[in-house]
């Protein structure tokens, strides 16, 4: 553990610069409303806090991108995937946007959107980190789900359940307009992938985890060892000085803290545990990008939108912790 009060970013040559991309996209799953998350997070003050309280210089186009111009008139299922052309086109564009920030040496924050957008964000940072640092980056995927279905193993056809399969090459597709644009330089290694918070993993996904020996910490592991030990093991697996992309699905949190999400699963992380994960990643000094996804302010609003407010507040807290709020 470090004792200094300021964590020097080891990989961000411009440690006070933050690229922000707001993605109002919901096509990776079937419930409308997750596209409203970036505006909800921003109106609750997130970007102001990052600027004024945490001292970041933000690079943001002040736009919540819905990528309407990219959406095809017709988008029939392909290999069982829903909205294949839309998700592919949007994530391809997003990949470029994230890449542009990361290539400049900025840490990149992406506000989703459903988790399919990680296809674009991770593809963009992976490429930029390879070019800039000649390194392969690691991904910490905090989620109730593994999102590692291939189109063939998926029971839902929702692409938000598949991003990890496409990013690791487990799912392959040569059609350029259906993720064929993903090249070697955009991909990540299964060895550098770590899951935290799992509790709803499909049968086919479990087979994939076992077959490839993917590092995964379920809620059971967290109950057994405590979140402190789990983070030591997770970061130990990745190794020191490895650039880290943190992809945080808000449904990793227990529905008590994040009820407004498309696929809530009971028995999740407390907000404090989620914040702790984010703080530990910050402490490494190796964070190069973060996604916050699956906040759906229109779902489970409860009385007077309490649920939506709580979920947005939780999401903001996770982001601030990953960006250093808790440091003394
Ligand atoms: N990003 C998420 N919330 N993913 C949920 C995935 C659920 C299920 N495993 C599926 O493939 O559809
Ligand atoms: Mn999830
Ligand atoms: Mn997810």
In the chain, the domains with their CATH numbers are 20-322 (3.40.800.10)
Taking the CA of 144 as reference, the closest ligand is 2
Q: What number is the ipTM of this complex? A: 0.98
Q: Each residue's pLDDT tens digit in the chain (328 positions)?
A: 444 445 566 665 577 999 999 999 999 999 999 999 999 999 999 999 999 999 999 999 999 999 999 999 999 999 999 999 999 999 999 999 999 999 999 999 999 999 999 999 999 999 999 999 999 999 999 999 999 999 999 999 999 999 999 999 999 999 999 999 999 999 999 999 999 999 999 999 999 999 999 999 999 999 999 999 999 999 999 999 999 999 999 999 999 999 999 999 999 999 999 999 999 999 999 999 999 999 999 997 777 788 999 999 999 999 999 999 998 8
**Is 60 marked active-site?**
no
For residue 153 and ligand 1, the question of a CB distance below 6 A is answered with no
CA of 245 to the centre of ligand 3 (A): 14
| Residues 195/199/205/207 CA torsion (nearest 10 deg) | 90
> Are the C-beta atoms of 194 and 141 separated by less than 8 Å?
yes
**Is 131 marked active-site?**
no
177 CA to centre of own chain: 23
For residue 291 and ligand 1, the question of a CB distance below 6 A is answered with no
* Separation of alpha carbons 314 and 308, rounded Å: 10
What residues are paired with 234 via a beta bridge? Answer: none
196 CA to centre of own chain: 12
pTM for the predicted model, two decimal places: 0.97
**Is 115 marked active-site?**
yes
CA of 284 to the centre of ligand 3 (A): 23
Helices (H), 173-305: 203-212, 219-225, 227-238, 271-284
């Amino acid at each position: 553990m470090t004792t200094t009060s300021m964590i020097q970013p080891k990989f961000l040559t411009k440690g006070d610069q933050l690229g922000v991309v707001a993605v109002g996209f919901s096509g990776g799953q079937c419930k409308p409303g997750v596209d409203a998350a970036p505006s909800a997070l921003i109106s609750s003050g997130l970007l102001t806090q990052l600027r004024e309280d945490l001292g970041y210089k933000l690079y943001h186009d002040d736009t919540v991108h819905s990528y309407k111009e990219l959406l095809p008139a017709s988008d029939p299922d392909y290999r069982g995937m829903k909205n294949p052309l839309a998700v592919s086109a949007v994530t391809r564009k997003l990949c470029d946007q994230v890449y542009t920030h990361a290539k400049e040496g900025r840490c990149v924050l992406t506000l989703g959107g459903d988790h399919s957008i990680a296809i674009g964000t991770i593809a963009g940072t992976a490429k930029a980190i390879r070019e800039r640092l000649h390194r392969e980056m690691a991904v910490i995927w905090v989620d109730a789900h593994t999102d590692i279905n291939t189109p063939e193993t998926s029971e839902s056809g929702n692409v938000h359940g598949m991003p990890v399969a496409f990013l690791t090459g487990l799912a392959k597709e040569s059609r350029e307009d259906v993720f064929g644009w993903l090249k070697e330089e955009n991909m990540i290694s299964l060895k550098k992938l770590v899951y935290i918070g799992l509790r709803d993993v499909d049968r086919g996904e479990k087979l994939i985890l076992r077959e490839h020996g993917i590092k995964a910490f379920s809620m059971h592991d967290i109950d057994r060892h405590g979140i402190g030990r789990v983070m030591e093991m997770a970061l130990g697996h990745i190794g020191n000085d490895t650039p880290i992309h943190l992809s945080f699905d808000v449904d990793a949190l227990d529905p008590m803290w994040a009820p407004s999400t498309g696929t809530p699963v009971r028995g999740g992380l407390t907000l404090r545990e989620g914040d702790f994960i984010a703080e530990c990643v910050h402490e490494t000094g190796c964070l190069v990008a973060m996604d916050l996804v699956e906040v759906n302010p229109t779902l489970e609003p409860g009385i007077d939108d309490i649920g939506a407010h709580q979920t947005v507040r939780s999401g903001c807290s996770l982001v601030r912790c990953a960006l250093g709020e808790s440091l003394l």
